[in-house]
Amino acid sequence: MKIIVCAKQVLDPETPSSIFKIDRDAKRAVPPPGADPVVNGFDEIAMEAALRIKASVGGSITVVSMGRSFVMDVIKKPLAMGADELILLQDDAFETADSFVTTNVLAAAIRRIGKFDLILCGRQASDWDNAQVPLGLAELLDLPCLTFAKNVELSNGSVRVQRVTPDGHEVLEAVLPALVTVSNELGEPRTPSIKGIMASTRATPTVWGLGDLGVDPSSCARVELVELFIPAREKRCEMIEGEDDTDAGRKLALKLREAKLI
Amino acid sequence: MPEGNGVLVVGELSEARLIATTSELLNAGGKLANSLGQPLHAVLLGTNLSNASEEAASLGAGKVFLAEHPLLDEGHVEAHVTALQQVCQQAQPSVLLIARTQLGREVGPRLAFRLGVGLAQDAVGVSVDPDTKKLLVTRPVYGGNALAVVALSCIPQIVTVRPKAFEVAAKDESLRGEVVRVPVEIPTSVVRTRVVERVSGEAAGVKLEEARVVVAGGRGLGGPEPFQELEKLAKLLGGTIGASRPACDAGWIDARSQIGLTGKTITPDLYVAVAISGACQHMAGCSGAKVIVAVNNDPKADIFKEARYGVVGDWRKILPAFTEAVRELVR
Ligand SMILES: Cc1cc2nc3c(=O)[nH]c(=O)nc-3n(C[C@H](O)[C@H](O)[C@H](O)COP(=O)(O)OP(=O)(O)OC[C@H]3O[C@@H](n4cnc5c(N)ncnc54)[C@H](O)[C@@H]3O)c2cc1C
Ligand SMILES: Nc1ncnc2c1ncn2[C@@H]1O[C@H](COP(=O)(O)O)[C@@H](O)[C@H]1O
């Protein structure tokens, strides 16, 4: 079983909004000083799904990541978790890539990898929140696409997922090769073992540039970023105080009554 | 850039009627159509479309394109993409608006890739650049920490729109649209995922998306039991309970109760957030609430930046007293 996991390096989404900064001229987020990026949370979950499949039916896991530059300790985390191979698609031109460029580059890389049975992606990347690349990959690579999986199982040449829906879930099936996106309901990604971390530090990722992939970013781009800004929050909060917490709770009720909210 | 004409709203149906989001799209689309000096149209996919078609016309659609096919009733993404590709060929819209529902958020991107055009996901604002006549789409990024304004370089410009970001359109029963049937061909082979089973349990009581009052709990509740306390309060207020993602992930409450960027979007009159820090990804789902009330023991918690009323302290003390006082007041 050959599994490809698409994983993106992103600004830590837990960055508190008080220190989240934008460079309006460059139209990009400025990482807080000293803060490392992370592997997109949903992609770690995709990695977890891949490892569970590998444990049950065997096979290999190749991680593909596209970006302008990488922090090695960060992007090697999937290797530390147990991936067999890491391919970095790296080029200065990827700095401003939109989802259409990203998808075309990833598709080219996946074609270059050649044979595979399953592609696993996160449901969305927590920087631009597009939730678009996996659907685009399914189109470009002509694959069945199963989204929002909380469980992924392979058997007899097909994949079966439990897909999270707003009021429950559905069980979907498709013939391999296929693409699956995972959601947080799948469960926490495992923590790398010391042994895994040691092995990952020794591993050297394969690096492919634009020249290896034969994609022209400018002809794939479809979205122009006109402006990026932090919205003003103008709400002011009225703090309800009391002699103690119990009193404050009671006063809150009275306040809401006064405001005709209850 | 090839011209296109008209703003085309992709309608979505539930039990043969338009969902509220379609009406929101017709409202937003109508304004865009005005700024562009182009007509507003709608397209409906499925079977049994006549009532919904009249509804779409009364909400402002000049033409209502009907793509009738039984495969379109099942919510198969591939079938919808195939049909919409054919509809676009005939209607040649300059703008296509799709609701970012479970179906729309997949149909939009796949259609864009199929047509080779651009798309903006999850719009909360749309306008027209007065000079270029291009669409300017505002969408939250970085979990809602920032807003991006994007323009799309091909026609049609496809936008999926966040539900509840716009008011519903005004209804005028006297409006009659022109019905245009589009013969769509959808080979069964386009549908490549098979639904083995659908498990849907409507939660008892008030539906989260429709509740006027939502009492939500976060990681600071520490376990499943406190949600029973929240439930009591919610019942008294005629509402229902919700939760942050960590509370759902921990299994303290059903995942269907998750509110936020990757959960549900709600716009209740009153949102009571208990032991929720107010991360932007959470607020993405509830910042449209008319009034937010926060209970949190950290005076610096971000939730107080969005709340109208706040109490700093331990929910274990505050909540029972609050619930008791509410019980007396609403009696
Ligand atoms: C791409 C992406 C999508 C996401 N989607 C969502 C989403 O849809 N919904 C969502 O909710 N999150 C989402 N998240 C997660 C989000 O970033 C936050 O991690 C999460 O919302 C935090 O949940 P919380 O407020 O319950 O927990 P915490 O941030 O841990 O906050 C708990 C709060 O409880 C308070 N507290 C603790 N004890 C007490 C006490 N005794 N009395 C009173 N207060 C107390 C603490 O002061 C703290 O403020 C997403 C994240 C990413 C990256
Ligand atoms: N630059 C990238 N490198 C690798 N995978 C990516 C990249 N961008 C997006 N993906 C994959 O596509 C998913 C959805 O991303 P997006 O469409 O950008 O929200 C992510 O969770 C990843 O699995």
Side chain identity, residue A261 = L
CB contact under 8 A, B142 and A170: no
The pLDDT confidence band at residue A26, using thresholds 50, 70 and 90, is very high
Average pLDDT, chain A: 96
Name which of B22, B100, B29 is nearest B264 in CA terms.
Answer: B100
CB contact under 8 A, A172 and B202: no
Q: How many CB atoms lie within 10 A of CB A138?
A: 29
Note the pTM of the prediction, 2 decimals. Answer: 0.95
Query: Cβ contacts of residue A55 below 8 Å, gap of 6+?
Result: none
- Residue A234 predicted with pLDDT over 80: no
Report the alpha-carbon distance of residue A173 to residue A2 in Å, rounded.
Answer: 18
Task: Report whether the peptide linkage leading into residue A78 is cis, meaning its omega lies within 30 degrees of zero.
Answer: no
CB contact under 8 A, A249 and B200: no
% of chain B exceeding 70 in pLDDT: 98
- Residue B299 predicted with pLDDT over 80: yes
Closest Cα in chain A, distance from residue B217 (Å): 16
How close is the Cα of A110 to the center of ligand 2, in Å?
13
C-alpha dihedral, B69 to B70 to B74 to B80, nearest 10°? -20
| Minimal Cβ distance to B325: which of A166, A245, A250 | A250
CB contact under 8 A, B145 and A184: no
Place of tokens 């034969």: A214
| A positions 215-244 inside 8 Å of B (CB) | 221-231, 233, 235, 237-240, 244
- Residue B202 predicted with pLDDT over 80: no
Query: Measured from the CB, is residue A125 less than 6 Å from ligand 2?
Result: yes
Average pLDDT, chain B: 96
For residue B112, give the ligand nearest its CA: 2
Report the alpha-carbon distance of residue A137 to residue A115 in Å, rounded.
Answer: 15
Q: What's the rounded mean pLDDT across residues B207-212?
A: 94
Is B237 touching A (CB cutoff 8 A)?
yes
Q: How many CB atoms lie within 10 A of CB A214?
A: 9
Residue A16 pLDDT: 87
Residue A37 pLDDT: 97
Is A198 touching B (CB cutoff 8 A)?
no
State how far the alpha carbon of A56 is from the alpha carbons of A61, A124, A154, A175, B119, in Å: 13, 26, 9, 18, 38
Residue A233 pLDDT: 77
| Residue B261 near residue B284, CB atoms below 8 Å | yes
Residue B1 pLDDT: 47
Place of tokens 């995942």: B255
Burial class, B73, CB count within 10 angstroms (exposed 0-12 / middle 13-18 / buried 19+): middle
Residue B115 pLDDT: 98
Report the alpha-carbon distance of residue B261 to residue B257 in Å, rounded.
Answer: 13
CA angle B8, B13, B16 (to 5 degrees): 125
Residues in chain A closer than 8 A to B164 (CB atoms): none
Query: Measured from the CB, is residue A63 less than 6 Å from ligand 2?
Result: no
pLDDT digit string, tens, across residues A76-120 = 999 999 999 999 999 999 999 999 999 999 999 999 999 999 999
Is A21 touching B (CB cutoff 8 A)?
no
Report the alpha-carbon distance of residue B307 to residue B304 in Å, rounded.
Answer: 5
| Residue A98 near residue A223, CB atoms below 8 Å | yes
- Residue B286 predicted with pLDDT over 90: yes
List, in sequence order, every residue forming a beta bridge with B311; answer none if it has no partner: B295
How close is the Cα of B274 to the center of ligand 1, in Å?
10
Residues in chain A closer than 8 A to B320 (CB atoms): 246, 249
All structural domains of chain A, each given as residue ranges with its CATH number in brackets, are: 2-219 (3.40.50.620), 232-262 (no CATH)
| A positions 135-174 inside 8 Å of B (CB) | 135-136, 138-140, 144-147, 160, 164-174
| Residue A262 near residue B192, CB atoms below 8 Å | no
Residue B203 pLDDT: 65
Report the alpha-carbon distance of residue B274 to residue B297 in Å, rounded.
Answer: 10
Name which of A174, A200, A163, A173 is nearest A61 in CA terms.
Answer: A200
CB contact under 8 A, A223 and B151: yes
Q: Which of B265, B274, B296 to mutate to test the pocket of ligand 1 (most atoms within 8 A of CB)?
A: B296
All structural domains of chain B, each given as residue ranges with its CATH number in brackets, are: 7-190 (3.40.50.620), 208-330 (3.40.50.1220)
Place of tokens 């050649």: A114
What are residue A222's phi and psi, to 5 degrees? -130, -10
Query: Cβ contacts of residue A12 below 8 Å, gap of 6+?
Result: A35, A36, A37, A38
For residue A122, give the ligand nearest its CA: 2
Query: Measured from the CB, is residue A15 less than 6 Å from ligand 1?
Result: no
Q: What's the rounded mean pLDDT across residues A5-22?
A: 94
H or E stretch at B322: helix B315-330
pLDDT digit string, tens, across residues B241-256 = 999 999 999 999 999 9
CB contact under 8 A, A13 and B147: no
**Residue B94: alpha-carbon gap to chain centroid:** 23
Residue B89 pLDDT: 97
Residue A239 pLDDT: 97
- Which ligand 1 atom sits nearest the alpha carbon of residue B298? 47
How close is the Cα of A64 to the center of ligand 2, in Å?
10
pLDDT digit string, tens, across residues A207-228 = 999 999 999 999 999 999 999 9
The pLDDT confidence band at residue B2, using thresholds 50, 70 and 90, is low
pLDDT digit string, tens, across residues B61-117 = 999 999 999 999 989 999 999 999 999 999 999 999 999 999 999 999 999 999 999
- Residue B206 predicted with pLDDT over 90: no
Give the burial string for B217-243 (b: 16+ CB within 10 Å, else e): bbbbbeeeebbebbbbbbbbbebbbbb
pLDDT digit string, tens, across residues A165-180 = 988 999 999 999 999 9
Instruction: Tally A–B CB contacts below 8 A.
Output: 243
Side chain identity, residue B168 = V
- Residue B164 predicted with pLDDT over 50: yes
